[in-house]
Amino acid sequence: MSESHWLEVEDYKSPEGWTQPEEGPSRARGYCAALERGEILFFRQPPFAFSQEDGDFLLSQHWAELRMHKNVSYRPGDDILRGVSGDAAATARIHSALRNYSTRVIEFLSKFLSPYADRWILDFASFRPFEEDGRDLPLHKRNDLLHLDAFPSRPTRGGRILRVFTNLNPAKPRVWQTTGPFESLARQFAEDAGLRRIAESDSPFKRTVQEWGRRMGIRGMGRTPYDVFMLRFHDFLKENSRFQAGCPKVQLEFPPLATWIVFTDGVAHAVMSGQYALEQTFLIPPGALVAPDRAPYRILENIAGRPLVH
Ligand SMILES: [Fe+2]
């Protein structure tokens, strides 16, 4: 385990917030910049009012008996819980636990990463109740292979995927592996993954079709060449057994109740083991980034020599 591969935050704590409030705005900007260059921000204790009661309830459920999808998900905008059905009282209690987590993380992040607040798009929160070690999932869905996140149903159009995780497990760490920075992965593999082909196949007709689909609200439409490439790159890295076996790896062990924040579209990650994590996702539009030159779409545009986002 190497703790130097995350940046431990010690100047923001729950419940008081910034330890030196007058420096809050400049610290917030500094942390946005750190995340954008690929750092993982680490808090030993949740930096928001975490409900231990909710946590205990989630841990006490017999998840194997509740009918479930890959994860339980919660959509903050519409207050909708998905991925679990069965006992109505238990479902309502799970719903309120995810609502509380989501609400508190959003409140926290609007102070801690204030340059992004009010500009982000709130995405899902999720609860991950299954042991990650030894999960039997199809290749492209495996969490234990290094990958960059890309959402088939929610193109970001150059925006970035920011995630806040909390390890709810009272006894076991959540174990990740990471590898080198986005730019070096892109320089090594973007060509083989089809960047040039995707960039060159962009056309006014395709744009019109995607834009039309987006306006109609069709799931997954509105993709730019960047979105098409990132979906392909996700699969390419998981399919590439030589890369998976041979790339340099750093192991990170997030202890019980640790909370961490990371742009998962820029930091390649694999979840090796761990059970019971909560998570809230934010989409940060390109215009809100403090260091847009570091954004994956800009790095890829430099490699491809043409725009990938429109
Ligand atoms: Fe992921």
pLDDT in tens, 122-156: 999 999 988 889 888 899 999 999 999 999 999 99
Does pLDDT of 306 surpass 50?
A: yes
Mean pLDDT of 104-125: 97
Distance 232 CA to ligand 1 centre (A): 14
Distance 130 CA to ligand 1 centre (A): 15
Q: Which of 41-55, 160-174, 214-228, 285-299 has the lowest mean pLDDT?
A: 214-228
pLDDT (tens digit, 9 = 90+) per residue, 33-59? 999 999 999 999 999 999 999 999 999
Residue listed under structure tokens 């993954």: 193
pLDDT (tens digit, 9 = 90+) per residue, 60-104? 887 766 656 667 999 999 999 998 887 888 899 999 999 999 999
Mean pLDDT of 243-262: 97
**Per-residue pLDDT at 34:** 97
Look up the pTM and report it.
Answer: 0.95
**Per-residue pLDDT at 51:** 93
Distance 299 CA to ligand 1 centre (A): 20
Distance 50 CA to ligand 1 centre (A): 23
Interior CA angle at 241 toward 235 and 242, to 5°? Answer: 125
CB 297 within 8 A of CB 309: yes
Q: In the predicted model, what is the mean pLDDT of the chain?
A: 93
**Per-residue pLDDT at 245:** 96
Distance 263 CA to ligand 1 centre (A): 10
Distance 277 CA to ligand 1 centre (A): 13
**Per-residue pLDDT at 310:** 84
Distance 252 CA to ligand 1 centre (A): 14
Q: pLDDT band at residue 202, thresholds of 50, 70 and 90?
A: confident
Distance 203 CA to ligand 1 centre (A): 30
Does pLDDT of 3 surpass 50?
A: no
Other CB atoms within 10 Å distance of the CB of residue 183: 18
Distance 106 CA to ligand 1 centre (A): 20
Distance 13 CA to ligand 1 centre (A): 27
**Per-residue pLDDT at 66:** 62
**Per-residue pLDDT at 209:** 84
Provide the percentage of residues in the chain whose pLDDT is more than 90. 81
Does pLDDT of 2 surpass 50?
A: no
| Closest alpha carbon to 98 in 81, 111, 114, 112 | 81
Distance 19 CA to ligand 1 centre (A): 32
**Per-residue pLDDT at 239:** 97
CB 169 within 8 A of CB 256: yes
Distance 150 CA to ligand 1 centre (A): 8
Distance 35 CA to ligand 1 centre (A): 16
**Per-residue pLDDT at 71:** 78
**Per-residue pLDDT at 140:** 92
